[in-house]
A = this chain, B = another copy of it.
Amino acid sequence: MAGNTFHKLRDEIENGIVTGEFEPGERLDEVQLATRYGVSRTPIREALMQLGAIGLVEIRPRRGAVVVDPAPDRVFEMFEVMAEMEGMAGALAARRHTEDDHVALVQAHAQCEEAATSEDTDRYYYENETFHRAIYAASHSGFLEEQCVALHRRLRPYRRLQLRVRNRMKMSLKEHGEIVAAILAGDAEAARALLRGHVAVQGDRFSDLVASLGKREGKRLSLG
């Protein structure tokens, strides 16, 4: 068997969590996962340990692993931090972007625009991710980029819900345009402010988020 089985298992399980295949609060049984992936418990445990370390699952001693089910205010806090980090990435990108970054950013923005005009929510969701990663890359801070990618990934399920909201896609695209302009103009503080606002969960989006979380919570309770 390949040397990095546990690595693939980690990604597999992580993906299952992020896509919602494993629901928040769900217990992750080791033998069940082991038989499912056709391996023994050992690599499963190692994968779970890694996921536990990055906070995707909670490992309760002698009581197994469960998918973390963050309280609504915790999710809000995560968006709050994400907004600040994206703002930082934007500010650095404005100061440090190269010719290549310029091209990548404009291109990613164009792809978003295409997805938005064809009203393809799923594609916009994907291109949006590329756009944000282009900003992280343009910040030329490898560490910041890693942190942003990790947090962005962790917030994926919640962001997906938000895109369904009416007109959010058009609004998002418009904000992207302003962000690109600020970065390319080298205006660090404008880029920071715009990205903060773009990512932050405020106003209507806050109530939408809480509502979606509440719904999930209710569903979970009704099942239990």
A-B CB contact pairs (8 Å), 9 listed: A3-B61, A3-B62, A42-B42, A46-B49, A49-B50, A50-B50, A53-B54, A78-B143, A80-B141
Instruction: Please state if A143 and B77 are interface contacts (CB–CB under 8 Å).
Output: yes
A199 at the interface (CB under 8 A from B): no
Give residues 68-90 of A contacting B (CB, 8 Å).
74, 77-78, 80-81, 84-85, 88
Provide the main secondary structure of the chain A interface: helix
B45 contacts A81, C-beta separation under 8 Å: no
Counting CB contacts under 8 A, is A31 at the interface?
Answer: no
This chain's copy number in the assembly: 2
Our pick among B61, B84, B141 for the contact of A77 (Cβ within 8 Å) is B141
**Residues of B contacting A49 in the complex (Cβ-Cβ under 8 angstroms):** 6, 46-47, 49-50, 53
- Smallest Cβ-Cβ distance to A73: which chain B residue: B142
Distance in Å from the Cβ of A6 to the closest Cβ of chain B? 8
